[in-house]
Amino acid sequence: MFQHVIVRTPCQSLIEGITSANLGLPDLALAMSQHEQYIAALRQCGVALTILPPLDAYPDSVFVEDAALCTPHCVVVTRPGADSRRGEAALMEPVASRFYECVERIEAPGTLEGGDVMMVGRHYYIGLSGRTNAAGAEQLIAILQRYGLSGSAVPLTEFLHLKTGCSYLEDNVLLATGEFLSRPEFAAFDIIAVPPEQAYAANAIRVNDKVIMPAGFPVIRAEIERRGMTVLEVPMSEFEKLDGGVSCLSLRF
């Protein structure tokens, strides 16, 4: 069960966030409204929310997931691979430290962003992406092992982060698209295959008894519900314009 969630209010400089999408600039007012709806969905999941103030110096700082990894035993302060985002981790450390006695850090030359880390029980899959390098993954695996957890690296080429293209929804269910449909390490999961034109729906989060997913994907929603899960949809258009999905907007632990 998750007890806590940390989110950060979108900042005025949001439109300067990094993106590879060709969807236009985000509308700040609409992004604010969508963020509030995301928070409202989280409130339905029985967690205590910490809402951090906006950070104008970091346009992508609303995507808090990338700055830290919150495990059951320690928080790992990351070292983002994107230069413009590196300072976000140091600012997350004091916040996350309120909840943890044990604080670990990814150090140079390692880079790691939380969007590349997918927790499956006590095991953590770590995407080797444009943002997370082998040194970062190796450091994280060593940290996890010290706490009786485990990790393994998953190469990827098609997506920004591992969880851009796959999400573990508990109960052995994995949402997956693109290259993750054929990864041997995922073969034993009950895979909900997300077609390429709906790839944005491959990023969803299970928070206690609910699944939060982006609005507008009825077929994928039905597949999740068919497995007995309750789904909450949130509009995400303005964050999609910045390559961000529902997992990116929170730290859950």
Q: Round to whole Å and give the CA distance between 178 and 189.
A: 16
Q: Round to whole Å and give the CA distance between 235 and 247.
A: 13
Nearest residue (CB) to ligand CIR, 12 versus 230: 12
Q: Round to whole Å and give the CA distance between 134 and 238.
A: 31
Q: For residue 45, indicate whether it is catalytic.
A: no
> Please, what is the minimum distance in Å from the beta carbon of residue 239 to ligand CIR?
8
Q: For residue 248, indicate whether it is catalytic.
A: yes
Q: Round to whole Å and give the CA distance between 73 and 146.
A: 10
8 Å CB contact between 79 and 112: yes
> Residue 165 CB: number of other CB atoms within 10 A?
24
In the set 45, 74, 161, 166, the catalytic residue is 161
Query: Pairing state of beta strands 48-52 and 68-70?
Result: unpaired
Tokens of 141: 């695996």
List residues binding ligand CIR (CB under 6 A).
17-19, 60, 63, 65-66, 82, 85, 114-115, 160-161, 164, 242-245, 247-248
Residue positions annotated with a catalytic role: 161, 248
